[in-house]
Amino acid sequence: MENPEASSLAERAYQRLRSEILYGDLMPGERLRPADLQDKFHLGLTPIREALMRLSSENLVALDTHRGSRVSETSLTELSDLMATRRSIEGLCLTSAMIHGDAAWEAEVVSAMHLLSKTPLPRSDKDREAATLWESRHRRFHHAMVGACQEKWLLWFWNILADHSERYRKFRLLQRMPVKSKARDIEAEHHALMEAVLARDHSLATRLMSDHLSATEKSVALGLAASPPSIWPTKGSA
């Protein structure tokens, strides 16, 4: 019979580790020593190891017999694959949501957009609190738009893709180096998306969503290509 306390400790370790990886506190390629994590989280080795195994199944942790556990590396190739998949899945979720969404769904989309529009982007790489708040409200806006999707498997996949997308975008938000690229009016993109979704214009909404995600991919890719080693570790870094 499963021990509820042990299960709870493993879940706590999993949530802490997952959060630190997704929000950039643990960087790509960073070594994950169970003994160090035990001291940091004040948890036993068993829940730590269980959490690492679980995170490896989500491709957030790489397990190696000889090198030990590390935060999974990131790459431009993976970013491209991730965003192409997200465009497909999010388009399907959005279409289903526009078909099935009711007035409460519409109200949540408007509310989420309002909150996001009132949330400034971080002004520097040290403003992690602002970056985390913006990411949280940005995630809520996208979730609100697809929230009325009736296909639960699609939503499950969407959540996984959104988690991994945020991991990449967080590096861009906290990047020290300016990147020369055409300025985006992200708020205008979000507002146009909201209007198309509320109008139930399936063709326009899915096209705008695809364009929005493509623009994000391009911005993140440009930033990552120009990033210093502290933001974008090379393979094999400690």
pLDDT digits (tens, 9 = 90+) for 76-123: 999 999 999 999 999 999 999 999 999 999 999 999 999 999 998 877
Q: Is residue 5 pLDDT above 70, yes or no?
A: no
Q: Please state, in angstroms and rounded to a whole number, the distance separating the CA atoms of residues 179 and 173.
A: 12
pLDDT digits (tens, 9 = 90+) for 151-209: 999 999 999 999 999 888 876 665 544 444 456 799 999 999 999 999 999 999 999 99
Coil vs helix vs strand at 217: helix
Q: Where are the domains of the chain?
A: 4-71, 76-225
Q: Does domain 76-225 have CATH number 3.30.390.30?
A: no
| Residue 93: burial class (beta carbons within 10 Å; 0-12, 13-18, 19+) | buried
Q: What's the topology of domain 4-71?
A: Arc Repressor Mutant, subunit A (1.10.10)
- Which residue in 104, 20, 74 sits closest to 227, CA to CA? 74
pLDDT digits (tens, 9 = 90+) for 25-42: 888 889 999 999 999 999
104 — phi, psi (to 5°)? -65, -40
- Which residue in 164, 114, 157, 107 sits closest to 137, CA to CA? 114
Q: What is the mean pLDDT of residues 52-57?
A: 93
pLDDT digits (tens, 9 = 90+) for 38-54: 999 999 999 999 999 99
